[in-house]
Structure 1
Amino acid sequence: MKKGILLVNLGSPDSPEPKDVKKYLGEFLMDERVIDIPLAARTALVKGIILNTRPKQSAKAYKKIWWDEGSPLIVLSERLQNKIQKEVEYPVALAMRYGSMTIKKGLEELVDKGVEEVLLFPLYPQFAMATTETITVLTEELRQQHFPNLKIESVPAFYNKPDYIEVLSNSIKNHLKDKNYEHLLFSYHGIPERHIRKSDITKSHCKINNSCCVTPSKAHEFCYRHQCLEVTRLVAEKLQLKEGTYSTSFQSRLGFDPWLLPYTDRTIERLGKQGIKNMAIVTPAFVSDCLETLEEIAMEGAELFHEVGGKEFTTVPCLNDDDAFVNLLSKWINTWAKESVEIS
């Protein structure tokens, strides 16, 4: 079978204009794995409330970070794709879960090149309903409807793979080598607490407290909170960070339901008020810089830190198209393609 690779990232509006942002947000927020409430309630919330107010606000944010080449997330994902393509002998396509660069188009591109077996590569280190799961579910639906003869294998979450932790740790170390920071904050994208419980395959382990994520369980295979905390622990161990000089938080909450704690904005504020003058922040839930890292963290986070007395606020870029990250993904892809074994 001829093999091919489909990289999949989140997506982006076609432009930072409100009409394009509204279209994008509509598709994103109507996903039942993003806002997981009954369809009627989701429709009323998204189309009746959110899409009447949020597109203009989000468009302003997108305009702050938009590049001449286009959306940073798209541009960076394309750079990653192009670099990987030079390192592997198999066709590498790129798609987005939301927006005009659809997964269907990505699969069609590979099929047109004669591909019969696809390695689906969600570009998320940690598993979550609203990221990895929605990609794999939609891809399977598209396979059944349009590509019934296509064989598809999905890359599992790679948050704890030793070579990934090494690449991430080295990236953080290199970007902070000349910085005298007092505290390193690991900020991950937030999700509702109910997503954690829904993803618990044991139906009993996840309590979202201080013990369940560090108590061994099969539930950890699909527990976003555990996987985020584990990335922090493994990187801190690799970098030999001292206890109390680093912490974990969650950003980008929406609505009034309980989301994972602690919140990033309140953590930044608390650290500043406690007298931290120089802090650094890294966002390991993202492999590509995007609105959440470039605007919410690098701009809003920095402003908040300065307002409460902080001096130097350093953001560590995502891995993006870093050569070490490219080499790692290419190695995994080549291993899979040549040996047909699970990536490890």
Structure 2
Amino acid sequence: MKGVLLVNLGSPDSPTAKDVKPYLDEFLMDPRVIDVPNWLRNIIVRGIILQTRPKKSAEAYQKIWWEDGSPLIVISERFSEKVGKQIEIPVALGMRYGSMTIKNALQELNDKGVDEVLLVPLYPQYAMSSFETVVVKTMEEQEKYFPNMHLTTLPAFYKNEEYIKVLSESIAEGLKGFEYDHVLFSYHGIPERHIRKSDPTKFHCKIDGKCCTTNSVAHNTCYRHQCYDTTRRVTEYLGLDQDKFSVSFQSRLPNDPWLKPFTDFEFERLAKEGKKRLAVVTPAFVADCLETLEEIAMEGKNQFEEAGGESYKHIGCLNDSDDWVKVMAGWIEAWQNTEALPA
């Protein structure tokens, strides 16, 4: 019997330092997130970051926490429930980090008699710290606890025509009535070395502005290329002129080369260059979360206005919109009936 496992990042159980600390520990101790030797990761995470970050992160979570829980969890649950109503096979939801574990989600499917699972990492672009770690963790749990299950993974869907269409139309709807000078496509940041580590050729990815537009098998696992390609496809769909949009990367750790340009630097640059009315979209996420609701919608607005910007709009993610649900249900049905996966 077939079933579906949807997996997103996860969330602490509450917006308190007490619950944020173990969540951050699990997240940051993942060797695909901070990819240094374990002894050094222990020093960085447990000796430095976790001494101050939980309190600050808890305060950030408190700003965006909903009455019924973490926005990411609530939205993901709504999305999962809606998808489940449109297909004929079981759907389970798990998180890479936190108490809604992948193991529990696989157990839920196993209890319903599922032995063929379509794993859906809810990340449009491939990165070792997001898509890859979900796949690896799911495979580990399956092999250890559910050896009779067979896993098939939905590939990164950053260039899928149906995804591009639903994303573009969602952005177009968000832009209605907003007179913008510029649209900033802000993606989550990752260390530059992750790009090189994910390059199967070990020589193509140079992050020099040319490699991402030069055809290569490396693009199948290159986060930077996939971010720029998503942007290109969406802006072509929307008919945006080249001078009306740009790409940036949010989040980084100090003393480590991360993808540039940085989103917070772009807020300042765009405002000072006369782009007074800014719309920001976050296509690395399919569901709004701390990084979109606090870092972009709140902090980003403050940064842009402090730099001289006058009007700012964050356009939300696809979340549990009916059109996005329909696209996902269609992919699942295609796999269920023909084993076909979206290109």
Tell me, in whole angstroms, the C-alpha distance in 2 between the residues paired with 1:182 and 1:139: 43
Q: Which whole-Å CA distance do the structure 2 matches of 1:17 and 1:277 have between them?
A: 36
Matches within 5 A, 1:65-76: 65-76=64-75
- Alignment check: 8 A CA contact 2:160 2:342 kept: no
1:176-208 Cα offsets, whole Å, 9 max, x none, are 111100000000000000000000001110000
1:43 matched to which residue of 2?
A: 42
Paired position in structure 2 for 1:161:
160
Match of 1:171 in 2: 170
Percent of counterpart pairs with the same letter? Answer: 60
* CA positional deviation for 1:341: 1.8
CA displacement at 1:342 relative to structure 2: 2.3
SS in structure 2 at match of 1:229: helix
TM-score for both structures, normalised by structure 1: 0.99
The unaligned stretches of length 5 or more in structure 2 are none
Q: Distance in 2 between matches of 1:275 and 1:343?
A: 41
What amino acid is aligned across from residue 189 of structure 2 in structure 1? G
Which residue identity is paired with 1:86?
A: K
The aligned residue for residue 202 of structure 2 is 203
Q: Deviations over 1:122-158 (max 9, x none)?
A: 0000000001110111111111111111001011100
- 1:235-314 residue pairs with structure 2 within 5 A? 235-314=234-313
Where do 1:125-204 residues align within 5 Å? 125-204=124-203
Aligned to 1:122: 121
Mean CA deviation greater in 121-130 or 252-261: 252-261
Task: Measure how far apart 1:255 and its partner are.
Answer: 2.9
Aligned to 2:105: 106
Unaligned 5+ residue runs, structure 1?
A: none
CA contact (8 A) 2:186 2:247 kept: yes
Question: Are 1:233 and 2:235 an aligned pair?
Answer: no
Q: Which amino acid aligns with 1:195?
A: H
- Would you identify which runs of 4 or more consecutive aligned residues in structure 1 move more than 6 Å? none
1:336 aligns with 2:302: no
Letter in 1 for 2:321: D
Q: In structure 2, how many angstroms separate the alpha carbons of the residues matched to 1:226 and 1:9?
A: 22
How far, CA to CA, are the matches of 1:139 and 1:3 in structure 2? 16
Q: Deviations over 1:212-263 (max 9, x none)?
A: 0000000000000000000110111100101111000000112321000000
Aligned-residue offset at 1:70: 0.2
